[in-house]
C-alpha cells in the first residue's frame, strides 16, 4: 500500500511538471529576424533548449517555482527573464541585441592583472571548493579567466570572457557556468560569487551512474537546498534539521589588546606579556545559543508566498549529515567528526522570499558560515530540478 501511494504521488508530481512548459522564440531586436542556434536555459537547472531555424524553443517539465531564463548567442547580449510557474506566459518573445565591445572602465585605486599560475589554486579553492566531490571537479577552459588584484583593498576579482566549462566527475555533471561576479575580500574574510549555470548529465556506464546517484543524494542531504526546501514545506524537524537562534558576541578585550599592540608593538601599556598572550590565544567570537526553534517562528506566509526572517544568526544542524574530514583538515581541528553545523544570517535585507525549490531572493541577502561556508561551493552544487528518488520497494 505504501509503495502504491508513493508511486501515485510521484505520478501526480510528474503530471504537474509536464504542464509547466515554457514556449517562445528568439529574434534579433533590430531586424526582427529569428535567431537560430541560441542557447536557452533555466539557470541552476538542467532544463535547456536550442532555438530552431525559426527561432523557436520549448522547455517542458519545469517543476513549480520561481526561475530565471537565460538566452545567449555569440555576438548578442545575454538576456535574462524572471518568471514563475504560477504565471507562465502563453508564448514568450525574446529580443536580443548585437553585442557592443566596450573597453574596460578605469577603476579608481586600480588593480593589478594577475595570472592563473598565481591565483588559480586560490580561485578553485574558493569557487570549486575543497570537498571530496570538489577534488574530482576540473575547469576545462581556465584560460578564459582573468584575475584582478586590488592591492590597497586586499581584494581579488575574477572575470570570464565566456562560460566556464566545469566537469564534476564526483556528481556526474558538466556545468556551463556564466560567471557574473566573483570576489574574495581577504581583509573581511568573505567570498561571494554568482552566475548562471546549466547542468548537463555526463554519460557513464551503469556502475558510474549508480555511484553518481549515490553521491548526489549524499551532497543533497543536509545542504542549503535541502534545508530551505524543508523550511518551505515546514517539515525541517522530520528532515533531520535542528534549528537554534544564536547571538554572536565579539571578543572586545581581544580587539583592545590587538589594537594596543598594533600601535605600540614594543610596549604593553600596562598589560603584562603573559596576559597579552593569554587574551590573544582566545577566539575572536563567543556564542549564546537559544532554545530549539520551530519553522513557523521565522517563516511568514502572506498571500500564498513564504518569507523568512530572524535577528542575529540561526544555527542549523542536520543529524544525518556528518562533517567531511576535509572540513576538519582545512580548519586544522583535531577532533571527531560531528553532525554538520552551520550559521546563517540575513545581510542587509529585512526578509527573504523563499520558493519550493529551496531558492531565496535576493540571492545575496544570505550569509553562511561554518560548514555551509566551506561546503556550498560549485563542486557540490545540484540543479534546482534535482529531487532524491521517491520510489522505493518498501512494502
CA–CA gap between residue 326 and residue 324 (Å, rounded): 5
Q: How far is CA 11 from the centre of its chain?
A: 29
Count Cα atoms within 13 angstroms, Cβ side, for 180: 12
- Residue indicated by cell numbers 535577528: 311
User: What is the per-residue pLDDT for 285?
Assistant: 80
- Residue 11: what pLDDT? 36
Question: Which pLDDT score, from 0 to 100, does residue 10 have?
Answer: 37
Q: For position 16, what pLDDT does the model report?
A: 42
Exposed (0-12), middle (13-18) or buried (19+): which is 33, by Cβ within 10 Å?
exposed
What DSSP designation does 142 have?
Answer: G
**Nearest of 137, 140, 183, 188 to residue 162 by alpha carbon:** 140
Rounded CA-CA distance 2/394 in Å is: 7
Q: Can you give the pLDDT at residue 306?
A: 95
Count of alpha carbons within 13 angstroms of residue 319, beta-carbon side: 8
What parts of the chain have a pLDDT lower than 70?
A: 1-19, 101-109, 264-272, 390-395
d(CA 64, CA 385): 9
Closest CA to 27 of 87, 73, 86: 73
pLDDT in tens, 87-138: 888 899 999 999 876 555 555 557 888 899 999 999 999 999 999 999 999 9
Cβ atoms of 256 and 278 closer than 8 Å: no
Amino acid at each position: 500500500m505504501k509503495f502504491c501511494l508513493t508511486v501515485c504521488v510521484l505520478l501526480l508530481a510528474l503530471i504537474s511538471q509536464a504542464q509547466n512548459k515554457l514556449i517562445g522564440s528568439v529574434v534579433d531586436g533590430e531586424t526582427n529576424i529569428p535567431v537560430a542556434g541560441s542557447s536557452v536555459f533555466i539557470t541552476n537547472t538542467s532544463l535547456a533548449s536550442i532555438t530552431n531555424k525559426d527561432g523557436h524553443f520549448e522547455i517542458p517539465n519545469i517543476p513549480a517555482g520561481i526561475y530565471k531564463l537565460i538566452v545567449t548567442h555569440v555576438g548578442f547580449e545575454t538576456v535574462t527573464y524572471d518568471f514563475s510557474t504560477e504565471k507562465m506566459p502563453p508564448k514568450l518573445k525574446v529580443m536580443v541585441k548585437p553585442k557592443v565591445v566596450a573597453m574596460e572602465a578605469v577603476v579608481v585605486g586600480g588593480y593589478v592583472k594577475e595570472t592563473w599560475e598565481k591565483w588559480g589554486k586560490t580561485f578553485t579553492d574558493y569557487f570549486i571548493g575543497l570537498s571530496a566531490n570538489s577534488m574530482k571537479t576540473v575547469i576545462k577552459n581556465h584560460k578564459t579567466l582573468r584575475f584582478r588584484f586590488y592591492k590597497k583593498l586586499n581584494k581579488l576579482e575574477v572575470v570570464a570572457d565566456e562560460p566556464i566549462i566545469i566537469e564534476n566527475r564526483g556528481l556526474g555533471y558538466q556545468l556551463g557556468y556564466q560567471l557574473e561576479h566573483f570576489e574574495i575580500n581577504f581583509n573581511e574574510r568573505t567570498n561571494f560569487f554568482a552566475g548562471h549555470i546549466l547542468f548537463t548529465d555526463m554519460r557513464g556506464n551503469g556502475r558510474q551512474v549508480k555511484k553518481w546517484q549515490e553521491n548526489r543524494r549524499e551532497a543533497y542531504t543536509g545542504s542549503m537546498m535541502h534545508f530551505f526546501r524543508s523550511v518551505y514545506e515546514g517539515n525541517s524537524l522530520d528532515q533531520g534539521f535542528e534549528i537554534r537562534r544564536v547571538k554572536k558576541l565579539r571578543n572586545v578585550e581581544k580587539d583592545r589588546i590587538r589594537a594596543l599592540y598594533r600601535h605600540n608593538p614594543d610596549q604593553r601599556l600596562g598589560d603584562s606579556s603573559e596576559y597579552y598572550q593569554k587574551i590573544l590565544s582566545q577566539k575572536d567570537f563567543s556564542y549564546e545559543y537559544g532554545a530549539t526553534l520551530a519553522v513557523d517562528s521565522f517563516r511568514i506566509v502572506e498571500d500564498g508566498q513564504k518569507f523568512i526572517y530572524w535577528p542575529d544568526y540561526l544555527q542549523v544542524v542536520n543529524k544525518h549529515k556528518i562533517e567531511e574530514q576535509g572540513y576538519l583538515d582545512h580548519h586544522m581541528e583535531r577532533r571527531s567528526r560531528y553532525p554538520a553545523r552551520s550559521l546563517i544570517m540575513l545581510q542587509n535585507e529585512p526578509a527573504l522570499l523563499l520558493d519550493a525549490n529551496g531558492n531565496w531572493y535576493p540571492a545575496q541577502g544570505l550569509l553562511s558560515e561554518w560548514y555551509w561556508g566551506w561546503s556550498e561551493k560549485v563542486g557540490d552544487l545540484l540543479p534546482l530540478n534535482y529531487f532524491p528518488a521517491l520510489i522505493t520497494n518498501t512494502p
